[in-house]
Structure 1
Amino acid sequence: MKKAEVVFIPFPGLSHLISTLEFVKLLINRDNRLRVTVLVIKFPHITENDVNTKSLPISESLNIINLPEVSLPPNTDPGFSSMTALLEAQKPNVKQAVSNLTTREGQHGHLAAFVVDMFCTTMINVANEFNVPTLVFFTSGVASLGLNLYLYTLRERDNVDSTQLLLQNEVAIPSFANPVPSKSLPSFVLHKEWESFFMRLARGLKKVNGIIVNSFEELESHAVHSFFSHPDLSDILIYPVGPLLNLEPKTKGTVDADSDDVMKWLDDQPPSSVVFLCFGSRGYFDEDQVKEIAHAVENSGARFVWSLRKPPAKGTMAAPSDYPLYDLGLVLPEGFLDRTAEIGRIVGWAQQAQILAHPAIGGFVSHCGWNSTLESIYFGVPIAAWPLFAEQQANAFELVCELKIGVDIALDYRVELSGRPNYLVTADKIERGIRSVLDKDADVRKKVKEMSEKSKKTLLEGGSSYNYLGRLIDYIMYEASLMKKAEVVIIPSPGVGHLVSTLEFAKLLINRDNRLRITVLVEDKSCGMPCVSGRGR
C-alpha cells in the first residue's frame, strides 16, 4: 500500500525537538497509512539532537535524514539573526532531500504535507515549490498561539506597535479569558530588536494550512474555543493534540550517578513533601540570585531537590552547564550544603519528568516553559511560577490567574536581551511561593490533580486530542489523494528536431508540477519497436 509521506522540519532546540519527535511517534503509531521523514537540522552548541532522534523507533514508516551542516557568514551576531541565517542556508539541503524523496515515490508513497516548527516557517516556500500544504507544529499552548496571532493582527490591521503595549496596564487578548498584564507579554513583542523576528514568525503562522498545538482542549478550553468564535482567530485551523511528552528517562550519553542518588533519596521521603526547583535546559541565575534562592529554601524548612546550573560564557548561544563540586561552595551561602545535607539534594542537569513523577514531589518551582508545564500537570504537581524569557511570562499568567493550577513567585520577572534580569527576587518572596505550593490543603493542588486525570484521558479513544488527531490524519490523507501522479505518455516523432523540442517540453512539464509523471516512448531503431526512453518524477 502506498503511504502518505509527511516531511517534518523541527527546530533543533531541545524542548522543540522533544515534543516534535513525540508527535511523530504518535502519528505513525495511530495510522499505518502514514510515512514520516524527519529532516534534522544541526545548530552550533546544540548536541542533544542525535541522542533524541536515536530514541525514535525503527520502523518502515519512519525515515530520519540528518541534513549537512552549514557555516554561518563571518561576524553573524548570535541570537535570532544567526538562527534565521542558518535556516535560510539550509533551504537548498531541504529542497534536495525532498526532491530525492519524490523521485522514489513509487517505492514509498505520495508526498502529502510539510510539518514545520513554529520557528521554521521560512520553509513554507520550499513546500510551495512541491505543491503540498504546510502545517506548523506549535510547541507552546493555544493561548500563547492566539496571543501571537492577535498582536500580529493589531500591527498589520491597526498599526499598533507591540513595543508600545508596555505603556498600557493590560491588553485584552481573545485567547485569554482575562486581560493580560503588559508585563506578562512575551519578550519578543516588547523589544524593538526582536520585532522583525516576531512579525516574520506570526506572518508565517497566518500563511499555513493548519496549526498543530501541543496542548489539549480540556486544559485550554477558552483558548481553543476562541479559534472558533472570535473573528480575528476563526480563520485559523488548529489541532490541539497534546500533551506530547517524553516520559522515558533521558540520558546525557552516560550513566548519571546524580540522578540515581536523587531517586534513591526521594524513595525515603514522605509523599508530597519535597519541592523541586528546575528552570529548564536554558535556565540559570547569577550568584546573587542563587544565594537568595538558597536562603529561601533553607528558611522554608522544606525538603528539596534543586537543579542548579552554571551560566554560559557571556555573548554566546551555549547552554548552561553543571557546576563542578568545588564551585558550588563559592556560589552558595557559606555552610549551606552542610546544613541542608539531610533535607535536600543539589544536582546539575536533572531527569525532570522522572523526578516529577515521584510521589515524594509536592511542588515544582518552574520557569513555566510549556513542556515543563505539561509534565507538571500530567503528574499532578502544582507549580510555583517564576518565568524567565520568551513566552514564559504569558504561560505563568495563564497557569496562575486563568487556570488556577499554580501560585505566583515572580510573574513579572524577565531576563532581558542583555542577559541580565529586570530585578532580584528576594528570599522572602521565594519562600512564600515554596510554602504555598507545598500546602496540602490548597485549591491549586486539587485543581491540578483533576487536570492530571484529564491529561491522561485526552489521547485515549474518545478524548479531545484523540479526535483532533483523527481529523488531522483525515486531512493529510485527503491531500495525499490529490497528490497522486497524473501519468502522461508522450510519443514524439523520431525526427531529431521533433524529438529535441518534445523532450524540452517534457522537462518543462515535470519541473512545473510535481503531480505529473511523464513516460516518453522513443522508437528503438534496432527493432523498429517503441521503447521507454525515460521517465520524469
Structure 2
Amino acid sequence: MDHRKPTIHLAAISIPAFSHQASILQFSKRLVQLHPYLHVTCIFPTIDAPPEPTIDFLQSLSSSSIHCIFLPPIAKHDLVDHHGNATPPAVQIQLAVSRSLPSLRDALKSLCISSPLAALITDPWANEVLEVAKELHLLSFVYFPLSAMTLSLFLNLPRLDREISGEYRDLKDPIEIIPGCSTIPINGLDLPEHLQDRTSLSYELILQRCKRCSLADGFLVNTIFEMEQSTITSLQNVFPIGPIVQSGSSSSGTGSGCVEWLEKQTPRSVLYVSFGSGGTLSEEQLNELAFGLELCGQKFLWVVRKPSESANSAYLGDGEQDSLQFLPSEFLERTKERGLVVSSWAPQNEILRHSSTGGFLTHCGWNSILESIVCGVPMMTWPLFAEQKMNAVLLTEGLKVALRLKANERGIVEKEEISKVVRSLMEETEEGDGIRRRIGELKRDAASALKQDGSSTKALSQVVDQIVTLWRQRQSN
C-alpha cells in the first residue's frame, strides 16, 4: 500500500438507529484499514440525543481517520403523521432524516470548503442526500447494510408497485419478478411489514426512497458474493463488501457473567436466544418461549427484554429495565442448572464466537445473521419486523442453514413447537448435521471473502479505484 498518497476525504451518512450506525462505522473502519490514505467523516441525524451505544462504539474505534458529526436533534414527539398521530419507529427514522436535511446539507457544504470531498456514502434510508451529492458534483454510493435479496426488492419496488394491484399480502403465488430471487419462494406475506399497507405513510416514504436509488453510482452491500451470487450478478453496480460485523471484545464487559458461564459448558451444547437490539415479544409469547426452553431439555443462554405488543418497541433505544420479573413464576429456579437468563443486553459477539455455543435462536436481523455465519453457528429463525421474514426465507429455503419456527393461527409460537425445533437443531440428527455442515462452508466463504485476494476486498478496491480516479481528474483540472 502506498502511504504517500494524499488524503482523500469521504462523507458517510447513516440514520438515527444504532444497528445502522454501528454497521457503517465498522465499514468505515475496514475502509481506512485497507486504504490508509482515506479519511471518513460520518454524519448522523439524531432523534432527541445520540444513541449511547454509538458513543461507546466511537470511543472504541481509536482511529484518527474516522470522525463523526451528530446533527442537531429532532424531537421524538414531533415525529407524527399527517394527522398528528404517533408513528412507528421506521417512520420516525425517515421523518427525522428528512427534517435533518437542511443541517445535513450545511454540514456537507462546510466539509467541501474545509477539506474537499471526493465521494459520499449513504444509508438507503437517508438517500435524500443523493440529490445533495448531485448538487455538489460528488460520486455517491449507497451503503446497504442488509442482504442483496433485500436490495433487489427495494430496487424493484417501483416495478412491483406498477405491475401488482391490491395488497402484496393477498397474493396467492410467490413473487417472481424480483431479480435473483426466482429460486427462493418469496411470498407477499414475507415482504417487510411496512410494505403490507400500500395506503400507509410508511409505504409512501419507502417507495420514494426506492425511486431515488437510481441517483446512486453504486451499491456497497454488506453481504458475501459466494452467499448471494445469483442475486448479485442479476443487478448492476453492486459491490458485495461484507461481511461487515463487529469484531473483538465488547467494550461493555462480559455482560452478567455470560462468557464465564459459557466457559463451564461443553462444546456446542448451548442455544443462544436473543432478539437483537430492538426486538420484543408479547407477554403471552414470552411465557411460551420460557416454557419451550424448559421443555426442550437443552442448555440455553437467553437475553430477555421487557414484553411489549409492539415487536420493535425497543428499536430506538427506549429505556432498559429489569426484564426478569416478567418471566413465569419459578422459571429461573427450575432451569438454573442448565440455563442462564440475562436482562436486556449480552455480549453477542463473544457469545457466538464461544466454542460452547451450538445454536442461535435469532430475530433474523441482518447484523445478527452475518455474525452467526462468521462464527459458523446454526440458526433458528423467529422474524419479528422489517425485512426479517425475507431473511428467514433466505436462511431456511435458500442457504439451508437454519430451521424456522411456525406460529399457530393466532401468531403465537407454542412451547411444543419451540421444544421440537430446538432439539432438531441442537441434537445429533440428520437435519441438524446438514445445517452444521452448510454453515461451516459459509463460515469458510466469509473468511475467504475478507482475505487480501478475497471477493469482498476486491469489490471494495474497485469502488475506491473509481473514487480515486475521479478525484485525481478533478485535482488536475
Q: TM-score, normalised by structure 2?
A: 0.89
Mark the CA change 1:385 to 1:313 in structure 2 (over 3 Å): closer, same or farther. Answer: closer
Determine the structure 1 residue equivalent to 2:60: 55
* Native 8 Å contact 1:151 1:162 kept in 2: no
The residue correspondences of 1:115-514 to structure 2 (distance < 5 A) are 115-156=121-162, 158=163, 160-161=164-165, 163-172=167-176, 173-176=178-181, 177-192=183-198, 193=200, 194-227=202-235, 236-251=236-251, 255=253, 258=256, 261-311=257-307, 318-319=316-317, 322-324=320-322, 328-329=324-325, 331-348=326-343, 349-410=345-406, 423-441=411-429, 442-484=433-475, 486=477
The residue correspondences of 1:7-26 to structure 2 (distance < 5 A) are 7-26=11-30
Mark the CA change 1:81 to 1:399 in structure 2 (over 3 Å): closer, same or farther. Answer: closer
- For 2:462 and 2:117, the matched residues in 1 are separated by 19
One-letter amino acid of the counterpart of residue 415, structure 2: A
One-letter amino acid of the counterpart of residue 344, structure 1: G
* Native 8 Å contact 1:309 1:320 kept in 2: no
Structure 1 gaps of 5+ residues are: 228-235, 414-420, 487-537
- Greater fraction strand: 1
Shift of 1:41: 2.2
One-letter amino acid of the counterpart of residue 95, structure 2: A
- For 2:76 and 2:261, the matched residues in 1 are separated by 46
- For 2:241 and 2:315, the matched residues in 1 are separated by 31
Shift of 1:181: 2.3
Mark the CA change 1:152 to 1:98 in structure 2 (over 3 Å): closer, same or farther. Answer: same
- For 1:74 and 1:13, the matched residues in 2 are separated by 17
* Native 8 Å contact 2:396 2:404 kept in 1: yes
* Native 8 Å contact 2:26 2:246 kept in 1: yes
Tell me how large the CA RMSD over aligned residues is. Answer: 2.3
One-letter amino acid of the counterpart of residue 414, structure 2: T
Q: Compare 343-352 and 182-191 and name the one that shifted more.
A: 182-191
* Native 8 Å contact 1:78 1:316 kept in 2: no
- For 1:357 and 1:364, the matched residues in 2 are separated by 11
- For 2:255 and 2:460, the matched residues in 1 are separated by 39
* Native 8 Å contact 2:363 2:384 kept in 1: yes
Determine the structure 2 residue equivalent to 1:232: none
1:332-371 C-alpha deviation (Å, 9 max, x unpaired): 2222111111101001211111111110011100011000
One-letter amino acid of the counterpart of residue 263, structure 1: V
One-letter amino acid of the counterpart of residue 208, structure 1: A
Shift of 1:167: 2.6
1:102-152 C-alpha deviation (Å, 9 max, x unpaired): 2223xxxx4211101010001112212211121101110111111222232
Shift of 1:98: 2.1
Q: Compare 189-198 and 370-379 and name the one that shifted more.
A: 189-198
* Native 8 Å contact 1:216 1:242 kept in 2: yes
- For 2:428 and 2:418, the matched residues in 1 are separated by 18
SS at match of 2:61: coil
SS at match of 1:362: strand
- For 1:435 and 1:313, the matched residues in 2 are separated by 28
Pairs aligned (count): 456
Q: Compare 138-147 and 33-42 and name the one that shifted more.
A: 33-42
Shift of 1:189: 1.6
Match 2:99 to one of 66, 89, 107: 89
SS at match of 1:295: helix
- For 1:466 and 1:313, the matched residues in 2 are separated by 42
SS at match of 1:171: coil
Shift of 1:9: 0.5
Shift of 1:165: 4.8
Determine the structure 2 residue equivalent to 1:33: 37
Match 2:119 to one of 113, 117, 120: 113
SS at match of 1:55: helix
Mark the CA change 1:150 to 1:74 in structure 2 (over 3 Å): closer, same or farther. Answer: closer
1:79-105 C-alpha deviation (Å, 9 max, x unpaired): 344333322222222222222222223
- Percent identity, aligned pairs only? 28
* Native 8 Å contact 1:368 1:386 kept in 2: yes
- For 2:144 and 2:249, the matched residues in 1 are separated by 24
Mark the CA change 1:320 to 1:166 in structure 2 (over 3 Å): closer, same or farther. Answer: farther
Q: TM-score, normalised by structure 1?
A: 0.80
- For 1:264 and 1:317, the matched residues in 2 are separated by 28
- For 1:204 and 1:364, the matched residues in 2 are separated by 36
Mark the CA change 1:450 to 1:73 in structure 2 (over 3 Å): closer, same or farther. Answer: closer
Mark the CA change 1:257 to 1:4 in structure 2 (over 3 Å): closer, same or farther. Answer: closer
* Native 8 Å contact 2:131 2:215 kept in 1: no
- For 1:332 and 1:313, the matched residues in 2 are separated by 16
1:189-221 C-alpha deviation (Å, 9 max, x unpaired): 212323202201211222211111000101112
* Native 8 Å contact 1:112 1:483 kept in 2: no
One-letter amino acid of the counterpart of residue 145, structure 2: T
* Native 8 Å contact 1:357 1:379 kept in 2: yes
Mark the CA change 1:469 to 1:461 in structure 2 (over 3 Å): closer, same or farther. Answer: same
- For 2:464 and 2:91, the matched residues in 1 are separated by 35
Shift of 1:437: 1.6
One-letter amino acid of the counterpart of residue 455, structure 1: A
* Native 8 Å contact 2:48 2:74 kept in 1: no
SS at match of 1:54: helix
- For 1:162 and 1:480, the matched residues in 2 are separated by 47
One-letter amino acid of the counterpart of residue 464, structure 2: I
- For 1:189 and 1:167, the matched residues in 2 are separated by 13
Structure 2 gaps of 5+ residues are: 81-85
* Native 8 Å contact 2:258 2:346 kept in 1: no
* Native 8 Å contact 1:312 1:318 kept in 2: no
SS at match of 1:454: helix
- For 1:270 and 1:13, the matched residues in 2 are separated by 36
Q: Compare 63-72 and 92-101 and name the one that shifted more.
A: 63-72
- For 2:317 and 2:78, the matched residues in 1 are separated by 22
SS at match of 1:197: helix
* Native 8 Å contact 2:278 2:315 kept in 1: no
Mark the CA change 1:5 to 1:52 in structure 2 (over 3 Å): closer, same or farther. Answer: same
SS at match of 2:247: coil
